[in-house]
Chain A
Amino acid sequence: MNEIARDPAADLGRLERLEGIGCARKRREDPRFIQGRGTYVDDIHLPGMLFGIMIRSPYAHARIKSIDTSRAKAHPGVHAVLTAEDLKPFKLHWMPTLAGDVQAVLADGKVSFQNQEVAFVVAEDRYIAADAAEMVEVEYEELPVVVDPFKAMLPDAPVIRDDLAGKDVGAHGARRHHNHIFNWQIGDRDRTDRAFDAAAVTVSQDMLYPRVHPCPLETCGCVASYDAVRGDLTVWITSQAPHVVRTVVGLLSSIPESKIRIISPDIGGGFGNKVGVYPGYVTAIAASIVLGRPVKWIESRNENLTTTAFARDYWMTGELAADTDGRIKALRVKVLADHGAFDACADPTKWPAGMFHVCTGSYDIANAHVSVDGVYTNKFPGGVSYRCSFRVTEAVYLIERMIDVLAQKLGIDKAEIRLRNFIPKDKFPYHSALGLDYDSGDYTPALQKVMKAVDYDALRAEQAAKRADPDCPTLMGIGITTFTEIVGAGPSKSCDILGIGMFDSCEIRVHPDGSAIARMGTISQGQGHQTTYAQIIATEAGIPASVIQVEEGDTSTAPYGLGTYGSRSTPVAGAAVARASHKIREKARKIAAHLLEVSPDDMEFDLDQFRVKGDPARAKSMKEIAWAAYNNVPEGMEMGLEAVDYYDPPNFTFPFGAYLAVVDVLKATGEIKVRRFYALDDCGTRINPMIIEGQIHGGLTEGFAVAFGQELPYDEQGNVLGGTLMDYFLPTAVETPHWETDFTVTPSPHHPIGAKGVAESPHVGSIPCFSNAVIDAFAHLGVTHTGMPHNAYRTWQQLLALNIAG
């Protein structure tokens, strides 16, 4: 090491000016949002713009006998009424889904879910369109409806997809029934079965992860503008993956990608709802091409909640085999996955159940087998990852519930059984029985830290006292989860979408004055990319975050990327940012050496400058180097200072956490109060602690919403109930519990800066924690499971069944 006398105060000042990794700087995007200066899709107004409204089916399953558009077309101000017949000449009446299926853009002869798209009215403004929509007359002939995935698989179940008649092989292999989509299996079935046969103890539990919706504040929408003279198409769209949308639009329209520009402007939340391509986008584009005018389409809240991308609807059976000490020997899982009427799940192509195989969790389980069947029903399509990586919420819910079920059976404390089964630190990188390679983890200290913080033993003592008192008006429950997530999709060898590897990208240009612009293939929907990416560049390239402009979402300027969902921005694009920064830095090193007339090897990087090793007074700041890049570079070097990086990660990252919830169930009403929630997260290197805290608060709040109130139930006729915010639970500050947060740091060994991604952990980890707490309140009465959402009504029914209500 060199022995240079340094001035710590001056170093600190330079560090603070950089605002790099670890700095809790305020979000750069907030001033414009707080002041109403954001630009969302509905803020886009173009000259001559028309407005489109979708006409939807009131029936869940019906044949369309006729559609009469004449009255609507004659209504003043109406420009077009499109039906499947109008789209047929362009082959746009059906579209491919991300899951290898097809979906009707406008119903082609029949409808298969309530609110399915039937016709598209385009008018001068949205008021005229709404009036004209009432004038479209559709004659339906009702068909028998099936909303239960088990009934959908009965031999005489109604055929939901006539268009698939005779197709006994789908995108993911054989289909064994007319409503079957796929069977996907992973793990060693025989070994797992043998482990079950040999085990001292086994437990089994059925559980439904109900159909929910991400429900972002901004609904989906777009403005499509086709310029017939230039032959190019621009679409402003609420998309979490604008480049993928460009590729899909190119495929559908035969317009070359070079003439398609997709712009994701400010997005008011996505949470997985805005990954796919929806019929409304296609009809708006088609209408713009046909009419030669820009066409806007914006969903209503009810349309959002009932047509564009639900999440979950997983009917799971978990089984664990263990010894009498609670050491788990094997996990067996069967899932019936309700995908609705079209398979429009957003998953990596090869994995129709996403990363559900992370369901061995944080535990060292030698044998495991998973079998997932996808099924069609008369419900709207989706199956997106609601604030989680593909199907990870379901997987974590399953294992975190199952380990509680096992603990209850064996009478082992629910914290203790986890400590007994954790993957030990020295086994990392850990190869799981279902084929995943966990990068890093250190689970025991995390759980112990939480137990100490809440005084776990005292809580259990209080619970015991309350259980002993029959007059106690409440039941007290303690929930624990120690989850492991899998995020950062992903290595292109296992993850692609439509054949495009799931890499991500960054392009950085440093300007002569030392400021810079960075562009990414991702797109922020509230994650604070403009803030955090700049911090990575600040630390890795020595440019102050405050002079770095971050731009995303415009496919004409940003490098190709797969977008933002599944906590992939930091693990994938964040790595590209770091690596592009390193390329900038290496070029800067050579320029600095040239300016100081020394060898590049004699230069060392020091926060925001390069200095000569052993002679720190001789240094060139990044600002000076940037200037020189435009007028004085070493011979043979190109001018300018920019870099591009496309990063294909070698592996996923595996954030983890230990959460604990304390709830009180009111016997009188079934109401549940979350008395305490302690969340410890380990997301590896922490780029901006303030943003992490914010993401965790948001994720916990959404997790709370799912656990206690969100669901989209159906009646037997296939009517979706609760499709408005009167019923669908979006918590306000009034309902939201107080959150306590904590962290440990276990960096990812394969990520350039060790970061893992955090925004989804609180959602994934908190939901089973709430369920575990609620069920723990009833555990002494023999209850092993109750379904979500744990609303007062459902909880009261449980109390009533146990004869302790009131």
Chain B
Amino acid sequence: MIPRPFAYHAPDSIGAAIALLSDFGDQAKLLAGGHSLLPMMKLRFAAPEHLIDLRRIKGIRGIDMQGDEISIGAMTTEREILASPLLAMHLPLLVETARQIADPQVRYKGTIGGDIAHGDPGNDHPAVMLALDARFVLVGPHGERVVPAADFFLGTYVTAIEPDEVMTQVRISKPAVGSGACYAKLKRKTGDFATAAAAVVLRMDRGICADIAIALTNVAPTAMRAEAAENALRGRPVEDAAIAEAGDLAMAACEPAADLRGDEAYKRAMAGQMVRRALRTALSRCTG
């Protein structure tokens, strides 16, 4: 449980961080809360020679809203998300998600940027980002670009971030007034990753599903949208039969890997259950 030797850097600007990344190439890793990276280093699965800590960089931490766009600095911790009155008011889905991540110790250190950038299909933010159509601000030596969540998660531990880029911000459009959302997660215990989880954002218009996003956690190599299930619901009343069908369609779409949490059949079934659970709750939260 002791990592290989490494050098530690704590630059105080994005520019300096990017310069270090450019210097050291794939021998360097960015360090945010450390709660995904350090365990891998302690198990010696990862052995970066240089750690570039982002904690001293100003302007990439905190939660803000301009018009209908909510922006969250990449270095914002789960704990800060939990405690944010702004999010509680305008994006309670994110608060509900953060509450189900790990345990208080991890949430004091772990950041939303790290949770997303790690590319782990077991992490909870990626599916929620997909369901919210979030956009990620990536800054590199050639400037800034904005990548939508849909184009970001490429594979297990593989994302669209280039080795010399830093994620600085997460941008989310405030869900439409009257819409309801839910993150339903099945886990064995506190601090566990999901056996299966589903994020649902739903907008109803006079009893009809006007807009729907469903995304799944830990049942495929990356977080994924359950598009067939979404399509089946859009334009229909969200009744028991439709909810059941959406669950079935989500089950058909996922490709879980067996582990001690369960075999493929169980995880697939639980993906369906979490979709149904999240749909029912989201529906009950809709005011439209």
Contact = CB atoms under 8 A, between A and B. Distances in A.
Contacts of B286: none
Interface string A346-385: 0000000000000000000000000000000000000000
A665 to B, nearest CB: 14
A62 B143 CA distance: 55
B260 A713 contact: yes
A722 B261 CA distance: 10
A793 B186 CA distance: 11
Interface stretch (A173-181, A590-598, A726-734, A776-784): A726-734
A709 B188 contact: yes
Contacts of B269: 796, 805-806
Main secondary structure of the interface of A (DSSP, over half): loop
Interface in B35-66: 44
Interface string B169-187: 0000000000000000010
A797 interface: yes
Most buried by A among B44, B195, B273: B273
Contact of A793 (B262, B272, B276): B262
A27 interface: no
A727 B190 contact: no
A792 B188 contact: yes
B273 A668 contact: yes
A126 interface: yes
Given A300-B1, A713-B260, A797-B266, A792 B190 contact: no
B270 interface: yes
A444 interface: no
Interface residues of B, number: 25
Interface in A768-806: 791-793, 796-797, 805-806
Contact of A726 (B44, B191, B276, B277): B191
A258 B193 CA distance: 53
A804 to B, nearest CB: 13
Nearest to B4: A131
B2 interface: yes
A732 B189 contact: yes
Given A669-B186, A726-B192, A796-B266, A806 B273 contact: yes
A732 B191 CA distance: 10
B266 A793 contact: yes
A792 B195 contact: yes
A134 B5 CA distance: 13
A732 B262 contact: no
B190 A126 contact: no
A300 B192 CA distance: 20
Given A668-B273, A793-B266, A796-B269, A727 B260 contact: yes
A793 B263 CA distance: 8
B23 interface: no
B157 to A, nearest CB: 17
Nearest to A796: B266
Say which size band chain A's interface belongs to.
20 to 34
Contacts of B186: 669, 671, 792
A408 B175 CA distance: 55
B251 to A, nearest CB: 11
Nearest to B186: A669
A190 interface: no
B2 A729 contact: no
Contacts of A668: 273, 276-277
Contacts of A727: 260
B118 to A, nearest CB: 15
Given A127-B2, A131-B5, A729 B260 contact: no
Contacts of A669: 186, 270, 273
A452 to B, nearest CB: 34
B261 to A, nearest CB: 7
A49 interface: no
Contacts of A671: 186
Interface string A127-156: 100110010000000000000000000000
A51 to B, nearest CB: 10
A188 B60 CA distance: 77
B189 A729 contact: yes
A721 interface: yes
A735 interface: yes
Interface in B69-126: 103
21 contacts: A126-B2, A127-B2, A131-B5, A300-B1, A302-B1, A668-B276, A669-B270, A669-B273, A709-B188, A709-B189, A721-B260, A727-B260, A729-B188, A732-B103, A732-B189, A732-B191, A792-B188, A793-B262, A793-B266, A796-B269, A806-B273
